[in-house]
Structure 1
């Protein structure tokens, strides 16, 4: 088998195990919550006052809640294999439809936040690498940003840029300016560890002999960093970028609630609050798939960035 196909097969197998593990943990965690889903379903209907033992028994039978837990789990996996994420207990709509309706605002927010985080971290990491005093100040700022809760960053940005200086609108105005504050709220704590990883990796690269050779040819420090150092220092940065995608998804849930924006994050918060188990499971499944997909693409991007990694692959 070709080495690339073997690497792809291994990566896809690991991704499938990761997704299955996340689904299993979420399923068991929701089932272990001391809340009868039949009460949630009955309480969401129009005849919520007529909750009788007969009604609860009928609901359990219809939704297979009277089956043993392993049977419920296998039935859920069987539906999931067919692309069926179930029906929301509260909203009584297909989970896939609810997720599709709220995906667009979250994707727009995540795309802009990712762009901000990458731009800020690249600038901070490259410009401060090898500069002790500036690097120390940058590390302090990054530590503060990484340690500050997302809702505090969002609150401060709202207070300064919307209420005090009136630079950006606080309410949804239907344009790109409305996205900037929520995107910065997620991007700032996400960019902080990315910049730290890139700076350390860049400083290690700057000590290599080929950097000295490049400097001897008359290149400036910045030119050496951009032309030679960045390509070799970016591998740990890409790895951290993949893990940061999970933090970005978590930050979206808080940010969308804080700014009153629609999206998957706010949908998840409402689903957890209202104990809508199928919707929570569907959102966990979709989020895990997105996380695994991003990290799989980053894994294969390593070779495109640094061709030396081709030598690591086993021969065909």
Structure 2
């Protein structure tokens, strides 16, 4: 067990280091002078005619006036000490302050979306295998396909047209009150629930073909009782994996969803930072997103042994071959 935990922790550190390095490389590969691009992106005049002292100050703050190796080492030090520098697109506020002001709204949207995603995905999967008629099961399977195929902005506009503009049940824009989170979170949840439902239903069917399940049916148990009592636990491992992967989709989808629904948050902050060429803010958001994904994936990986001890048991794994 300890070896398994250490291996997963090592993998998480490597992935997080990769995200940090990627955020550094993005600035280095950007054509032109990053300091001039920051000045131009923030509407402070023509980049070619920018004040020399202003450019020198930005280069000094970002370490751009040092050799590449020292830039990288300095950037790693700033990341480890959470010293992200200045957000030039936000009147030179500290990057940590800007992100902190936006993070709460995105976390709220992400948590609600994940809860709805899991509930809907499990409901789609169970409906596609437990409903008594073939047409009903096919209907649930078709819904999951729609969830995968429809782009997020199309789903958002469709929900807005029906539940906001036509029925008036929920506000269309903003983040005022509990009702404002329903449509954005439902949009994200429906897109991920299709994938989760298909993976889970396929896993249920595969586990249902195992010998011990046939024995349970031979004892006279009904299909629903067999699935709920004997199949779900062993069929849930792929679900944990796909949930960890879908977290990245929730974070990336927030940029589009928050823009469409006019919600403040990390997604909108991404768009603003890229538009303004605010490299320190972009770098911090990349690392934040990567760190969140690594954290969720690590939690999912470490929970595997609690569901199936064979994950960390070489003897059990050998017995299955």
**TM-score normalised over the length of structure 2:** 0.89
- Displacement after TM superposition at 1:54 (Å): 4.7
Quote the residue 1:64 is aligned against: 63
- Displacement after TM superposition at 1:58 (Å): 4.5
Quote the residue 1:119 is aligned against: 119
- Displacement after TM superposition at 1:42 (Å): 3.9
User: CA–CA distance in 2 between the matches of 1:86 and 1:197?
Assistant: 42
Quote the residue 1:104 is aligned against: 104
Count of residue correspondences: 311
Quote the residue 2:34 is aligned against: 37
User: CA–CA distance in 2 between the matches of 1:168 and 1:33?
Assistant: 42
- Displacement after TM superposition at 1:299 (Å): 0.7
Change (3 A) 1:58 1:264: closer
User: CA–CA distance in 2 between the matches of 1:46 and 1:25?
Assistant: 27
User: Would you say the 8 A contact 1:87–1:278 is kept in 2?
Assistant: yes
Aligned pairs (5 A) from 1:162-201 = 162-172=164-174, 174-201=176-203
User: Would you say the 8 A contact 1:44–1:89 is kept in 2?
Assistant: no
| Ranges in structure 2 where 5+ consecutive residues have no aligned partner | 317-321
Match among 196, 213, 232 for residue 211 of structure 1? 213
- Displacement after TM superposition at 1:93 (Å): 1.6
- Displacement after TM superposition at 1:292 (Å): 0.6
| Ranges in structure 1 where 5+ consecutive residues have no aligned partner | none
- Displacement after TM superposition at 1:130 (Å): 6.7
User: Would you say the 8 A contact 1:40–1:89 is kept in 2?
Assistant: no
User: Would you say the 8 A contact 1:40–1:90 is kept in 2?
Assistant: no
- Displacement after TM superposition at 1:241 (Å): 1.1
User: Would you say the 8 A contact 2:216–2:226 is kept in 1?
Assistant: yes
Change (3 A) 1:45 1:277: closer
Aligned pairs (5 A) from 1:73-112 = 73-91=72-90, 92-112=92-112
Aligned pairs (5 A) from 1:133-282 = 133-172=135-174, 174-282=176-284
User: Would you say the 8 A contact 1:186–1:248 is kept in 2?
Assistant: yes
Alignment root-mean-square deviation, CA:
2.3
**TM-score normalised over the length of structure 1:** 0.90
User: CA–CA distance in 1 between the matches of 2:204 and 2:54?
Assistant: 65
- Out of 255-264 and 42-51, give the one that drifted further: 42-51
